[in-house]
Amino acid sequence: MIADTVSGKVNGVGQGGVASFRGIPYAASPIGELRFAPPAPHPGWAGVREATQAGPAVPQPASRLERVMGTRVPDWDEDGCLTVNVHAPRHAFDGDAPRPVLLWWHGGGFSSGSGGWDWYDGARLAELGDIVVVTANYRLGPLGYLYLPELGAANLGAQDQAAVLRWVRDNIASFGGDPRTVTVGGQSAGAFSSLSLALDPETSGLVTRVLLESGPFGLPPRDPANAAETAAEFLRLLDVPADANVLRALPVEQLLSAYGRLSRPGRVDPPMFPVLGGPGVPRPWAQALADGALEGKSLMLGTTRDEVTAFLAFDPDIRDLTAARAIDLLTGQLGDRAHDVYREHAARLPQATPGQVFTAIQTDALFRDGTLSLADHHAAGANPTYVYQFDFQPAEDELGLGATHCAELPFLFTTFDAYPDSPMLGRPTAADRELGRAFATAVAEFVSTGSVQDWLPYAPKTPARVRHFG
């Protein structure tokens, strides 16, 4: 099946009732002079380009969550990594009414992941919901978020994402999609990115609806001064000056190695992520929300029940915490509220160890509190708002992960078989697969209509309106 894009024709492959087009370039390869530069237009191609295989991932280290999600064979290459993947119902090409579009961003702490991985294959979701699903790569780690604005390097990954959104605007009609009905959505770093796209005046007008899965909204966009300090430390580790030509000449493996030495064990936040005031994040989220940037857009958002176990379950210092030490750590984070917050969570989790109580507090602080605050604000303005909590945990949960970060992903995309060794999933049963169908159906219906049947919209401060899956 052939579709036209502004850069040339592409040939996809049929999968049942879906046509999939993989590895379509949306920008020129970010190599040579284009490394540490904003995305540049792709020069295009003659004839018909085969779009049957996903392009390479963006250069990256191994994921911090491999012990939770499962391992992946490295498949990255800086050359040719800026690509999109489009999955559309076959009958969308018959000239019928265009289908709503979901542009979905992978997570990975702005350090790892790829929209082309089979974990996020959108074919089944596209067929289930009669929607067009788009996934994409964006630059990660130092290639995407090194903050050297004097060299033109600022939020390059966010600039890639804006370029993808504009690519959807200009091309998705050729795949049977409706550029006037676009949901931006994603998980974790992808949720952070989706909210930023919806709030940024440069891209907000291209966004109709917003889907935020496990958004780390307890981590606001990075302070420029802190980002500059991290950039300076990165250059010290590389032993190079802040010179674009020097940085462009270094092997990418050397950049990744230095980035790895910036990481801090036990921390959820990555060394580099979007910086406030840079492209894509021109103002604080709170100010953008107060200014009404999200008004009129339907919103679906939620968390897993036990988000932070993915990051802390393997940390011996957390496992061995005493109550006194947990409160001491929390005091540095919460101040005078630390003791009361610990006591409240301990009462709610009477069988939990101090380490587990501490982890539950971090789940609230980093994920749930910000999600509910955003939902409260949006619903208070009479905007359609749907809030969920994903409660699934595997029957055999030897690691004590519970319903951990990323647990909903196999259910959303019906890609259970892509996670053969994943502790967060285990061995899915028929009931688990039916849960996936229910979750995916709700998401697809939201993408299509901005609402969900048999799901009461959220009302501020109303936990009973949170829908639980699992």
What are the catalytic residues? 188, 307, 405
Q: How far is the CA of 55 from the CAs of 10, 75, 116, in angstroms?
A: 14, 9, 7
DSSP 414-439: T-GGG-TT-TTT-S--HHHHHHHHHH
- Residue 87: phi and psi, rounded to 5, are -120, 120
**Which residues, 6+ apart, have CB-to-CB distance to 139 below 8 Å?**
30, 58, 81, 82, 145, 156, 157, 160
**Which residues, 6+ apart, have CB-to-CB distance to 64 below 8 Å?**
109, 111, 112, 263, 311
Identify residue 30 by its one-letter amino acid code. P
Tokens 């319903």 correspond to what residue? 403
Q: Which of 214, 212, 171 is nearest to 194 (CA)?
A: 212
Q: Which residues pair with 104 in a beta bridge?
A: 135, 185
Q: Which of 264, 62, 248 is nearest to 156 (CA)?
A: 248
**Dist CA 186 CA 197 (whole Å):** 11
Quick check: helix, strand or coil at residue 466? strand
Strands 177-187 and 209-213: parallel
3-state secondary structure 23-85: EEECCCCCCHHHCCCCCCCCCCCCCEEECCCCCCECCCCCCCCHHHHCCCCCCECCCCCCEEE
CA 462 to chain centre: 26
Full strand arrangement of the beta sheet holding 2-5? 2-5, 8-11, 48-50
- Residue 236: phi and psi, rounded to 5, are -65, -40
Q: How many CB atoms lie within 10 A of CB 333?
A: 12
Q: How far is the CA of 235 from the CAs of 232, 264, 399, in angstroms?
A: 5, 17, 38
